[in-house]
Structure 1
């Protein structure tokens, strides 16, 4: 797993999106590096790119989203929510996010995507008739994991929303694998500014 943290600056679209969520409040480069488990060189390059695109500004307290950055972030949140920490699964850091108006999907393929992106496991759920259920068979999550089902309510899911839950040994991997699944579904609808950052 160590290959993704080399000395050369390297970051992904997932890192860029996660950074936008983080920069709702000013943060220093070191903080971002620790939160996302990303080398400081990569963070420096990423921040430089976000700044060049006019999405962030910097001051003594750190880097933060400016008006344009906040607008781009609000466009992203119409597609999917920020990952939030939820009840642990398999005793590992666990994060969940909502995907609005998901296109057709196969749960198994989305789970595979999460695992390919360093998650140890993932659950793909949907909101149906006010219940959080497994899309394949309509089983309610609260039958097997009542605490997690209760915790997911803080995402305020609405009818038809898809809920991605990912867990990993490392908090950053859990967050970024959840974002990765959301991007798998919604990349084509992302604001062009953030797509260009990932190029």
Structure 2
């Protein structure tokens, strides 16, 4: 058990419940064990603590490398199980870390768009999500964040049913095709819960 993570999760859960009337949907879809690749839309810097506080299991988030340059932020991020990824290039160290976590039946969280959507509309997914989905035997779990972070507005986190990926793995689909399937599942959740 990661004490720092559990404390942070409890504080953020209390904050989002109090100030954003947090509602969590689809918890029954979250696998209780085995590895999970959790893929969500990205609308705010608050998305990782929101999704982490809504998730029933510890989530190891990929975070942009720039966040780890501040020693205090680096200590906190490392302490809660996040790990850095270089954006815009193939980061072998981040790939190895994610695959190690997935092989150890952990939950890896990522935002396939790679950056926040300024329009709040779902952007194009980067192929990294598809790469991890194809290369691991993980459950691929789509997640949608809807609502608003404005104080006292409602925010909803919805976990969808794990995406069926066995056929794509057997067909040796491309990372791009796999990512498109993940983005379609997130988009459907957004439509159903907006």
TM over 0.5: no
Structure showing greater relative contact order (alpha-carbon pairs closer than 8 Å, 6 or more residues apart): 2
Using the size of structure 1 for normalisation, the TM-score is: 0.25
Rg (Cα) greater in structure: 1
